[in-house]
Amino acid sequence: SQQGEEDPQALSIQEGENATMNCSYKTSINNLQWYRQNSGRGLVHLILIRSNEREKHSGRLRVTLDTSKKSSSLLITASRAADTASYFCATDGDTDKLIFGTGTRLQVFP
Amino acid sequence: DAGVIQSPRHEVTEMGQEVTLRCKPISGHDYLFWYRQTMMRGLELLIYFNNNVPIDDSGMPEDRFSAKMPNASFSTLKIQPSEPRDSAVYFCASSLRLSTDTQYFGPGTRLTVL
């Protein structure tokens, strides 16, 4: 079964707007990762946040983690058309493998 | 490094035929993963290797699927015989030291079984 569930399933915004995606998971984790997948391509790692961290930044990306709520959010600021992709969270949970969520499809219109 | 390399990029075959997908992980990575992605089921982990040894194959759908890693730079995923429901994009990924480290994905093989 899926460990992570992203919300919303799909998101459409205009260039320049911010995009926020959420991930909820079920078990305790050591770290949570976010990946991007462009159409027809493999997944690309964006950022990793550890369970003892609450917020992390990388360029226009901001990730938050709330372990008490078992949730994380990915914020993309000042979005661009090139940010159009699917975004997945992945958690290690109580297993020795990453479990990927169902993904959020982001469409950024120019 | 060229990243994870997969071949072929596209494969179209007829039901009952044998299909072999190939993967070259990033040099120096200890872990190799095979995933399958479909619209209905999302991204599924099929099997993963540590230092060429299969660790967890619980995601392999059935005996028609097999995977090998004869050396640190090469792995295959074989489907024999193939069925239309095997149509999907198959990804290979590798990670450096832990199975839960950042994973680096290949471009995938899009398999269509007619």
Amino acid A75 reads: L
Tokens of A54: 């609450």
Q: What are B16's two structure tokens?
A: 């009952």
- Closest-CA residue in chain A for B90? A42
Residue B85, φ and ψ in degrees, nearest 5: -70, -5
Question: What CA–CA distance (Å, rounded) separates B104 from B29?
Answer: 10
* 8 Å CB contact of B102 and A33: yes
**Chain-chain contact of A92 with B100 (C-beta, under 8 angstroms):** yes
- Give the tens place of pLDDT for each residue, A41-100: 999 999 999 999 999 999 999 999 999 999 999 999 999 999 999 999 999 877 788 999
Residues 13-32 in A contacting B (C-alpha not used; CB under 8 Å): 30-31
Q: How far is CA A54 from the centre of its chain?
A: 14
pLDDT beyond 90 at A5:
no
Span B58-82, average pLDDT: 96
User: Could you tell me which of A81, A61, A70 has the C-alpha nearest to residue A20?
Assistant: A61
Contacts of B104 in chain A (CB under 8 A): 45
3-state percent breakdown (helix, strand, coil) of chain B, nearest 5: 5, 55, 45
Q: Which residue has the tokens 């462009």?
A: A38
SS (H, E, C) chain A: CCCEEEECCEEEEECCCCEEEEEEECCCCCEEEEEEECCCCCEEEEEEEECCCCEEEECCEEEEEECCCCEEEEEECCCCHHHCEEEEEEECCCCCCCEECCCEEEEEEC
pLDDT grade for A1, boundaries at 50, 70 and 90: very low
Does B103 contact A103 at a Cβ distance shorter than 8 Å? no
**Chain B closest CA to A34's CA: distance in Å?**
10
Whole-angstrom CA distances from A39 to A47, A89, A102, B24, B99 are 20, 17, 15, 22, 26
Each residue's pLDDT tens digit, B71-105: 999 999 999 999 999 999 999 999 998 888 899 99
Give the residues across from B75 on adjacent strands: B23
Quote the pLDDT of residue A93: 77
Instruction: Write out chain A residues lying below 8 Å of B57, CB-based.
Output: none
Q: Judge: A98–B56 Cβ closer than 8 Å, yes or no.
A: no
